């Protein structure tokens, strides 16, 4: 079966992050990609200079249009921008009994530009996280969701992953890419306990869209693989995409990943 995966996210016109990256990652992992737009951004590899929001009602209508016609096997949620949009997404996904929801709580772009209104953190925590099969925050995002300091080592990451799972998702994958070291370790907390996924850190400045790419790959694989296997395969895919990133010549800042094998 080819899974149908719906990505709900903002649009990065440079193609490195957001919905365009989601579509690439979903497609590269063998699923059919669909998209609901929450926001339009003025953005390139060097930063974000503008955001135009889609109304919550129009976001709802997009979601309804997909579910009313197409079998949706998994959903990836990225940039929600505001509390009202977050709550609209949650209500629509509940109504349609969406499965295999992967939530990447996007708060800040790679350039450091904020992509989430301050009051939306609570809406993500209270309305969206309890719907998720997997939530995939990085260390700053997890700290914001929990109101805690960022973890400084793997031991602190383990404790924070458990705390994230207590917010209500089936599983919490805490990404450790912000920690120093030759390897990048992510910690998964689920009903089976803690599982760590480690990969070599790739030396490249072209890391724009890593979070979008990983979460979308997980969503593409969840309908046909056990959760830990889907996460492990998605992390291996992300590592390969980072290795291919320097083959691209896109922009002058944090460039995109190589989502597809080189010809």
Each domain of the chain, given as residue ranges in start order, spans 4-247
Q: Please report which residue ranges of the chain form alpha helices under DSSP H.
A: 18-28, 56-69, 83-95, 120-123, 139-146, 154-165, 210-221, 227-244
Q: How confident is the model at residue 110 (pLDDT cuts 50, 70, 90)?
A: low
194-241 pLDDT tens trace:
999 999 999 899 999 999 999 999 999 999 999 999 999 999 999 999
Give pLDDT, residue 107.
82
The structure's pTM equals 0.96
Do residues 218 and 3 make contact, with C-beta atoms less than 8 angstroms apart? Answer: no
Whole-angstrom distance, CA of residue 102 vs CA of residue 135 = 6
Give pLDDT, residue 180.
77
Do residues 103 and 169 make contact, with C-beta atoms less than 8 angstroms apart? Answer: yes
Instruction: Residue 95: name the closest of 70, 68, 129 by CA.
Output: 68
153-178 pLDDT tens trace:
999 999 999 999 999 999 999 998 77
Beta sheet of 47-53, edge-to-edge order: 47-53, 32-44, 4-11, 74-77, 101-103, 134-135, 171-174, 183-190, 193-200
Give pLDDT, residue 68.
98
- Please compute Rg for the chain using Cα positions: 17
3-state secondary structure of 70: coil
* pLDDT of 179 higher than 90: no
DSSP state of 151: P
Q: Which residues are catalytic?
A: 175, 207, 209-212
* pLDDT of 117 higher than 80: no
153: phi then psi, degrees, rounded to nearest 5: -160, 175
Whole-angstrom distance, CA of residue 211 vs CA of residue 167 = 20
Q: How confident is the model at residue 181 (pLDDT cuts 50, 70, 90)?
A: confident
20-31 pLDDT tens trace:
999 999 999 999
Instruction: Residue 2: name the closest of 58, 66, 73, 68 by CA.
Output: 73
The kind and range of the H/E element at 52 are strand 47-53
Q: How confident is the model at residue 109 (pLDDT cuts 50, 70, 90)?
A: low
Give pLDDT, residue 213.
97
3-state secondary structure of 152: coil
At the top level of CATH, the class of 4-247 is alpha beta
* pLDDT of 263 higher than 70: no
């Amino acid at each position: 079966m080819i899974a149908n995966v719906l990505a709900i996210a903002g649009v990065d016109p440079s193609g490195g992050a957001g919905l365009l990256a989601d579509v690439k990652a979903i497609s590269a992992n063998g699923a059919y990609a669909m998209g609901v737009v929450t926001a339009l951004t003025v953005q390139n590899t060097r930063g974000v200079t503008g955001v135009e929001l889609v109304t919550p009602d129009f976001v709802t209508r997009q979601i309804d249009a997909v579910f009313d016609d197409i079998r949706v096997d998994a959903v990836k949620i990225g940039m929600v921008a505001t509390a009202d949009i977050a709550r609209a997404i949650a209500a629509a996904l509940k109504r349609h009994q969406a499965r295999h929801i992967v939530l990447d709580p996007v708060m800040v772009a790679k350039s450091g530009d904020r992509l989430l209104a301050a009051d939306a953190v609570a809406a993500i925590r209270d309305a969206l996280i309890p719907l998720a099969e997997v939530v995939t925050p990085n260390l700053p995002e997890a700290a914001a969701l929990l109101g805690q300091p960022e973890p400084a080592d793997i031991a602190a990451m383990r404790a924070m992953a458990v705390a994230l799972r207590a917010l209500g998702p089936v599983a919490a994958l805490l990404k450790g890419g912000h920690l120093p070291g030759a390897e990048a370790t992510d910690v998964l907390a689920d009903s089976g306990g803690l599982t760590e996924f480690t990969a070599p850190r790739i030396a490249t400045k072209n890391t724009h869209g890593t979070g979008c790419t990983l979460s979308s790959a997980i969503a593409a694989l969840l309908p046909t693989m056990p959760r830990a296997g889907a996460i492990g395969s998605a992390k291996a895919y992300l590592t390969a995409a980072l290795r291919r990133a320097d083959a691209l010549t896109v922009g002058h800042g944090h460039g995109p990943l190589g989502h597809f094998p080189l010809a």
